[in-house]
Amino acid sequence: MTTVHEPAVTAPADALSVWPASAAEPRRGELTVGGVPLAEVADRFGTPVYVIDEDEVRERCRTYRHAFPEAEVLYAAKAFLCRAMAHWVAEEGLGLDVCSAGELELAVTTGFPPERIVLHGNAKSPRDLDTALRLGVGRIVIDSPSEIARLAAAVGPDGHQKVMVRVVPGVSAGGHEKIRTGTEDQKFGLSIPDGYAQHAIARILDQPQLELTGLHCHLGSQIAGVKPYVAAVRRMVGLMARLYEQHGLVLPELDLGGGHGIAYRPGEPALDLTALARGVRAELAGACAAAGLTVPRLIIEPGRAIAGPAGIALYHVLAVKRTGAHTYVAVDGGMSDNPRPALYGVRYAPRLVGRHSTADPARVTVVGRHCEAGDIVAADVELPADIRPGDLLAVPAAGAYHLSMASGYNLVGRPPVVAVDDGLARLLIRRESLEDIRSRDVGL
């Protein structure tokens, strides 16, 4: 008997634009990432499941190193962190940006060099600071005046710790008001106009065990344009010039944070990394020359831009309900494994995988299984009109702020994470089981 193989299908140019570069459609209805069919991942590991393309992560790390060869690139661990991710980032030459003792200890105990780690956060706990000092973290970013005395006391008179100061540059940028952190009157950083930043810096200079290496700022998240970063450079260099005039202080480092935007759906804008590097580099050189300052070493902290496009979330359809003018497609996950649509109104582009449908597209809303009307995975998207229970949906650009923000809502358990690369799939983080949940419940 002769086996007939269908020819490989070429998807429309933009259909896979928000998927990992390795995404391919070898047969109609089949989608592979990292050489692994997504349907096989779902069969083997169950759903919901997060899939991350190792090569995509590594390639994005290399892209940053190429675009900013003179800078220090720190991966923002809050986007997504596990032991494998820490190894990939370290092997590609990036440092790490963490915001808790938990992230810090996970990274260091799996072999990440502590001197290449920066700890920040607006409300660091005593445990955060003690862990950072015990493990020998490279820098600690001071976010409030109260941290100065606490940190100096923890370091001790004979100790030494490099620090930076987080400054509010007064630049509004970001995809949603809840993730804009570069403006005045919010919880992060120290203000320039009211003098809090300058006062904190003067206090740090009075602490000989604290070495001030530079200034830090972070404008927000999901920023798709270069202009906000250029404006931030201008204002930060202006402050550095005033510090030089007042204290004779020459700071060797300037950290511009991250927040680099990605596309979640075909056609959406993403930050042009080449344009960013060119714009920031030119503004930094020009502003420093005008102020008579030595150009500081640049530090940037991409998180979402590295992890986000490398990840996919897989769900099985549980129910299809038509009510009035709307069709709701309910899946076996939702806001417990991805709260971002409910928090920020993020819109995704799910795709049917595992079977080929010839039905016309229909407008549907993909919803989760949780007891909230706002539990929406993807609103008003096109899927085949014959979508039915048992179908498999894949959601691209799901590598950042999914597992890291996952919750225990309805006690459904957090999904596993599976890495794919070169035709192989391997488990990185196992599914949270009922036994895991039960074992934490120690009282009666």
Owner of token pair 């915001």? 99
What span, in angstroms and rounded, lies between the C-alpha atoms of 29 and 6? 12
Per annotation, catalytic residue among 82, 99, 288, 371: 371
- How far apart are alpha carbons 348 and 48 in whole angstroms? 16
What one-letter code names the amino acid at 157?
Answer: P
Q: Do the strands 117-119 and 139-142 form a parallel or antiparallel pair, or are they unpaired?
A: parallel
Q: How many CB atoms lie within 10 A of CB 386?
A: 14
Residue 61 bears catalytic tag: no
Structure tokens that stand for 147 in this block: 């941290």
What is the rounded distance in angstroms from the CA atom of residue 335 to the CA atom of residue 314? 14
Which residues, in sequence order, are CB contacts of 416 under 8 Å at separation 6+? 45, 46, 49, 50, 427, 428, 429, 430, 431
Asked if 191 and 150 count as a contact pair (C-beta separation under 8 A), the reply is no
d(CA 182, CA 235): 12
Q: Are 415 and 333 in contact (CB under 8 A)?
A: yes
Q: Chain centroid to CA 54: how far?
A: 15
The C-alpha R_g of the chain, in whole angstroms, comes to: 24
Structure tokens at 269: 């804008």
Q: How far is Cα 108 from Cα 87, in angstroms, rounded to an integer? A: 10
Give exposure, 277-290, as e/b (b: 16+ Cβ within 10 Å).
bebbbebbeebbee
- Which amino acid makes up residue 369? R
Query: Residue 336: how many CB atoms within 10 A of its CB?
Result: 23
| Residues involved in catalysis | 371
